[in-house]
Structure 1
Amino acid sequence: MSKKHQILEAAVRLFVERGLQGSSMALVAKEAEVATGSVYNYFEGKEHLINECFLYVKQQEVEFLLKHHDREADYEQRFRNVYGNTIRFMLDNCPYFRFIHLYAFSPVILQETRDKLHPLYEPFVKLYEEAYAAGATRSPDILEQHLAIYGGISYLMHYFYVHEEAITEERIQSMVDFAWSALRNPKLPLKG
């Protein structure tokens, strides 16, 4: 792991555990086991660092989703894969999930940072567009649909995490079923 990645990983953990105010650059350096000067070699300050953490975590999530994305599957299966794998990513990467849950709508994350994410999401935007054009989904409003589903999943996952409840494969499938039923065009015949 490169020194920059060590710093990003340490910063994500600290921003989750201690918050932005409780995480100094010196503390990040100590957690990453690097000199404080090394942190400043990569990041101008704490605000720059947290924005880079946001990009880093979202890039990890998108890479995971793309690795498991079958562009040849039908729309229902593709959406089920996206949301099922989103849940699995959250489970397997709890610090990342908690970081995004805490900072996704924070004003400290700059619009410039958010704009850098748009190209990463292009395959999923196309999925929504194509599914709507084919009549598989009910609404052309991609952002509203995605935020409603992702937000619901995120909030439920946070609830399970705080209450230390197990997230079984049955629970994952139940969340995915709910996501698909929220997206699907009600005029489509049900499978099975």
Structure 2
Amino acid sequence: MITPDDTKTRIIFAAMKAVRQYGLEGARIQNVSELAGISPGALYRYFESKDQLLVECFTYVDRQAAAIFDHLKFDPRTMLTDPMRAVKDLWLPYFRFWVAHPDETIFYHRFRDSAFFPRYDKVREVDYFDSFNGMVRAFREMFPGLKQMNQDLLWLHVLSSTVMYAKYVVEGVVPDNQETQDTVFRLLATGLSSYLQPKSSVEEKGI
């Protein structure tokens, strides 16, 4: 496994920074090599092409995101006592990861939003998300209604939207504070329905 001070890892981080600065299409190998502090020729010793480099950048970040769930303490019993709290306890570290890694967040969002990604997504290996998938299975068994939903739409809504909102935070569009975290989670979990209440009901509940 590569370590943080390896040249290959330095190139990966430089590539993500270049994509943040110049865009997915605008980033050039010359930009990456300058940010990595190496020559373009040296870069090609590690990556055959820009496309290969971008795929490895995505996999690197995707594995980091998946590893979040490897280290979370998950007690299925909390799904019965406070299901929303159980979901938020899993979601919040994921959201905070993206907010804490601006280059990775903007790269990841742009890569997933590219015309190339749908084809790549169908063939890529995602076994490193086993911990997350295990948690999802536990929720689906506890709440069968989740099985009735289109799973692709469900996880695009939850995971991709989380990255999108984190991108807004790192770009300064919305503030990095508790209110943002709470509002984003509430929108993801309950949508507008939790806000569309008559004024009298809101006042009674103290919302």
Which 10-residue stretch deviates more, 43-52 or 22-31?
A: 22-31
Q: Does 1:151 align with 2:160?
A: yes
Task: Give the structure 2 partner of residue 79 of structure 1.
Answer: 87
**One-letter identity of the residue aligned with 1:20:** L
- Structure 1 residues 159 and 146: CA distance shift in structure 2, 3 A: same
The 5 A counterparts of 1:124-163 are 124-135=132-143, 138-140=145-147, 141-163=150-172
| % identical equivalent positions | 17
- Structure 1 residues 20 and 152: CA distance shift in structure 2, 3 A: closer
Work out which of the two has the higher radius of gyration on C-alpha atoms and give 1 or 2.
2
Give SS of 1:41's match.
coil
2:66–2:129 Cα contact (<8 Å) kept? yes
| Equivalent in 33, 40, 43 of residue 39 of structure 1 | 43
Q: Which has the higher helix share?
A: 2
The 5 A counterparts of 1:61-140 are 61-67=65-71, 69-72=72-75, 74-75=78-79, 76=83, 77-109=85-117, 111-112=119-120, 115-135=123-143, 138-140=145-147
- Structure 1 residues 144 and 164: CA distance shift in structure 2, 3 A: closer
Task: Give the structure 2 partner of residue 175 of structure 1.
Answer: 184
2:69–2:131 Cα contact (<8 Å) kept? no
- Shift in Å at residue 162 of structure 1? 4.3
5+ residue gaps, structure 2, are 192-207
Task: Give the structure 1 partner of residue 199 of structure 2.
Answer: none
- The CA distance in 2 between the partners of 1:30 and 1:99, in whole Å, is 18
1:55–1:113 Cα contact (<8 Å) kept? no
Query: TM-score, normalising length from structure 2?
Result: 0.75
